Amino acid sequence: MDFTGQVAIITGGSRGIGRAVVCDLARRGAKVLFCYRERGEAAAETLAIVHNAGGVAEAVQADVSDPTTGTALVQAALERWGRLDILVNCAGHVGYGPMEDMSTARWRNVIATNLTGVYHTCRAALRPMMQRRYGRIINLSALHASGGFPGQADYSAATAGVQGFTRSLAREAAAWSITVNSVAPGFVETEMLDVIPGEIRAWGEGIIAMRRTGRPEEVAAAVVFLASSMASYITGHTLAVDGGWRMAG
């Protein structure tokens, strides 16, 4: 899959799955603008990986929960490279704890980052994609959306919202040859997995058919496929990348 000449925006690109997506698309020829909220050193590491491999990427510090961020990212990409082909929403925030102990602040933060942030960036990206009658939008969700997860009611609600939002936008954007899909990882080796207690993680790994956690690059491969011309007739779909977890129960 060759992305030479294409321009991509990736949110949450400094680490984890976002970093893997940035590096994979850049390696395949895309010019990538990614944002990060706090991890400046991690963003610099991502840039170094891309540049050392001969790719093109730029980083911007931004918080996707800010209503102005989506417009700012799209404008930056258009000013730098004159087009926008791909948007991947990887920015995410999670906590862990029973519902009775969940604060309103935590609920709002998780929803604002994982769901409202997707709205902000998609809304901003839609018009330039419509003008060119082409676009690929991929939103990161999670298996929490369909199965729920103990201690993460807020994240489960947010990711379920992402999947519903994705299907709705896919119907609206299809007339302009814009596809909108989501990718739902299971247990993947990122910092987001670190908040889950060991016994819960052991339970999850025990029902995964492949009996292991996933790697960020394995999720990135699914994202890159959906961003490619090979996925031109796939829209409104949620692709699970979970090692066979969804088969359980």
Q: Summarize pLDDT for 217-234 with one digit per residue, the tens.
A: 999 999 999 999 999 999
Per-residue model confidence (pLDDT) at position 181? 98
Q: Which domains does the chain have, with CATH numbers?
A: 7-241 (3.40.50.720)
Q: Which amino acid is at 47?
A: L
Per-residue model confidence (pLDDT) at position 177? 98
Q: Which amino acid is at 237?
A: H
Q: In what helix (H) or strand (E) does residue 172 lie, and over which residues does it extend? A: helix 153-173
191-197 average pLDDT score: 71
Q: How far is CA 199 from CA 150, 204, 211, in A?
A: 12, 9, 15
Q: Summarize pLDDT for 169-182 with one digit per residue, the tens.
A: 999 999 999 999 99
Per-residue model confidence (pLDDT) at position 64? 95
Per-residue model confidence (pLDDT) at position 199? 74
Angstrom distance (rounded) from CA 221 to CA 204: 22
Q: Is 96 a catalytic residue?
A: no
Q: Summarize pLDDT for 141-157 with one digit per residue, the tens.
A: 988 667 667 668 888 89
Per-residue model confidence (pLDDT) at position 44? 97
Q: In what helix (H) or strand (E) does residue 89 lie, and over which residues does it extend? A: strand 86-89
36, 96, 155, 233: which is the annotated catalytic residue? 155
Do residues 195 and 149 make contact, with C-beta atoms less than 8 angstroms apart? no
Q: With the C-alpha atoms ordered 193, 199, 200, 204, is the resulting torsion angle positive or negative?
A: positive
Per-residue model confidence (pLDDT) at position 249? 44
Q: Summarize pLDDT for 63-74 with one digit per residue, the tens.
A: 999 999 999 999
Residues 6 or more apart whose Cβ sits within 8 Å of residue 191: 15, 16
Angstrom distance (rounded) from CA 34 to CA 219: 17
Considering only residues 126 and 244, tell me which one the structure prediction assigns the higher pLDDT: 126
Q: In what helix (H) or strand (E) does residue 76 lie, and over which residues does it extend? A: helix 69-81
Q: Summarize pLDDT for 21-63 with one digit per residue, the tens.
A: 999 999 999 999 999 998 899 999 999 999 999 999 999 999 9
Pick from 177, 190, 169: which is nearest to 238 by CA?
169
Rg, Å, the chain Cα set: 17
Q: How far is CA 136 from CA 87, 145, 225, in A?
A: 6, 22, 10
